[in-house]
Amino acid sequence: MVLLVERARLYNQAAGITGHLVYFDHSFMQYAEGPSAAIDILWRKLQSDPRHFDVELLARFPLAQRRYCGSSLMFSAMPYYQQYQMTGFSPVEPGDMDALLASCLSQQQTRQVAT
């Protein structure tokens, strides 16, 4: 997992992408922000990667400013991963995934109402 996160950070940095990757219960949820063309390329890569299945886009909308401008990729997972002392890591617990998903969906709904 550590290698995956480090590779993703290098890719994101080169592409001008920032965001947050959450890993929980053998599933990933990713929030990515950056130039539209870079996000398109990342999305196509994720969809075509044979290691991924059931890839779903939950929301996509323009931002006035980035939420993760200081990090090419924040990472959240079970507290077990704290032992690797990765920068930008925050632990998540089982109930946190539902809250993260609800937050993502509410941001999209708010965005749709505002436009």
Domain annotation for the chain: domains and CATH numbers: 2-114 (3.30.70.100)
85 SS3 class: coil
pLDDT recorded at residue 105: 67
**Residues lower than pLDDT 70 in the chain:** 104-115
pLDDT recorded at residue 110: 54
Supply the pTM of this predicted model. 0.82
Contacts of 101 (CB under 8 A, 6+ apart): 29, 58
Q: How far is CA 56 from CA 3, 48, 52, 79, in A?
A: 24, 12, 10, 26
pLDDT recorded at residue 109: 58
pLDDT recorded at residue 111: 53
